[in-house]
Chain A
């Protein structure tokens, strides 16, 4: 990997260095057609339905459709607004905690010399980051729920602990957010070359100065990108919260599920669509921040 090869053998994976144009005939794009058609249909159609339903009202009696802003307005009022802010608060808090703790763990893993520890930690992170959802909720109910093992042993209830609350959800979410941060940041930490540290030290920089002027600027895109990714993951999480609190904590995903699952008044479906559109906009913002940051950090990881 790190063995320096002769600079002459630059990879021509793109095949761009050959001056002669490869004429393959115009048929290769046909192979990409099924994918584009599929995403257009199975992804574009629901998206269109969300956008259309969120800004129109169809009169059942006459069948006429008018453009209206009322669904979006309603999705930003009262309990719906509360659920949106609740989700944003929970996501921001868990993403911040997860990012900080994840970087600590990642640094401990990246600076260790034991390959066994490294691969075990990365494998475990890969598993645990995917261990969101239902099984995670039940593992925590069995651990720290009302009749959970640790709750009984340590008398957590006497200490004011409640798993089915904002605090409880934070602890549960960290279980899959910290490993996600580890996965994202270990490659970046590996990209911090020891030569830079030596160069800094030889130029008389203190540890603090090294981190302040070299380490953190190089890591910043990865760390910020990781934080944003964690935020998006926590924001979109539904299964864990549904299996755990079921509605006692106001979260936008739970509100949408309520509005969809039938036991609602008419016209709720459109509010659900409007809430979905709100979520997509927030998640889109998150990705718009994350992807350029990821590209920036990739520069140093060659």
Chain B
């Protein structure tokens, strides 16, 4: 307590004496963190262009487009992502708006339904999905349902993956949209639009959705990132989208698999930057100056 008393007594001087801000400490922490996070990226880039004993070559990047399976797997992943985003938004947007304007009692139900998938690790979900898919041949081979089972597992466009990814993405979509809706006074907007004679579709499409642009973009981006990078479910169900393809070539083409990994990170990075720009115009989102320009 003497310490306290002395300090209180010396308060007038203490006010004038500003403690120097710990700049050194902060710089050290940030520098170490920066080194740890940048080193693997830089080293990976060096790994892809420098062959020991041969020098610099950009073959890993130039041969990429011609690589067997690259375009197919990328197209499959992008197609799956588009379908997943569409399905997610079609399911979540009406439900969340309805919960806001007419059925507040459904709110906890929707929230629980949307956050539960966080509790189930993807690998556990796969065990359930494979079991369900095995019921098809076992129990339903005489019924028309069996055709459905075959259709969702079509190699060209596995619908079953879209369904699984939608389940995985729902928590993120829900969180993003919920935050967006919280910032908008939905009942008032709807009432105003309705009393001006707008139809329900018009209210949703022309009044509510424009207000949710940023959170819709956020939800779409997170889903895209999730689907492009998803490996577990696709590989265990035996499909070959982008991430599975990267692993499948890693044995024979180590350099190319690393090159593709770097590119996928860069694409993700650019998407996120575009997203932070697409948000509210007032955000002064200073783009981090990336000096690394890929040819």
Contacts and interface: CB of A to CB of B under 8 A. Distances in A.
Interface of A: 11-15, 22, 24-25, 27-32, 34-36, 38-39, 42-43, 45-50, 53, 101, 104-105, 107-109, 111-112, 115-117, 119-121, 123-124, 126-128, 130-136, 138-144, 148-150, 152, 175, 178-179, 202, 204-206, 232, 235-236, 238-239, 242-243, 253, 256-257, 260-261, 269, 272-273, 275-277, 279-280, 283-284, 287, 291
B291 to A, nearest CB: 13
B211 interface: no
Contacts of A205: 4
Contacts of A141: 254, 258
A135 B230 CA distance: 11
Contact of A36 (B110, B231, B236): B110
B232 A239 contact: yes
Contacts of B101: 22, 24, 28
A204 B4 contact: yes
A149 B43 contact: yes
B39 interface: yes
B127 A50 contact: yes
Nearest to B27: A108
Given A46-B132, A130-B225, A38 B166 contact: yes
Contacts of A142: 40, 43-44, 47-48, 254, 258
Contacts of B222: 130
Interface of B: 3-5, 7-8, 11, 21, 25-26, 29-30, 33, 36-37, 39-41, 43-44, 46-48, 50, 52, 90-92, 94-95, 97-99, 101-104, 106, 109-110, 113-132, 135, 163-164, 166-167, 170, 182, 184-188, 222, 225-226, 229-232, 235-236, 243, 246-247, 250, 254, 257-258, 260-262, 264-265, 268-269, 272-273, 276, 284-286, 288
Given A123-B272, A143-B39, 4 more contacts: A35-B95, A142-B47, A150-B39, A260-B126
Contact of B131 (A53, A135, A143, A291): A53
Contacts of A239: 229-232, 243
Contacts of A30: 98
A10 B268 CA distance: 39
Majority secondary structure of chain B interface residues (helix, strand, loop or mixed): helix
Best-surrounded residue of B33, B129, B254 (most CB of chain A within 10 A)? B33
Contacts of B90: 34
24 contacts: A14-B104, A15-B187, A25-B102, A28-B101, A30-B98, A39-B170, A42-B164, A50-B127, A108-B33, A111-B21, A116-B286, A127-B268, A139-B261, A142-B44, A142-B254, A142-B258, A143-B43, A149-B43, A150-B39, A239-B230, A243-B250, A269-B131, A280-B121, A283-B121
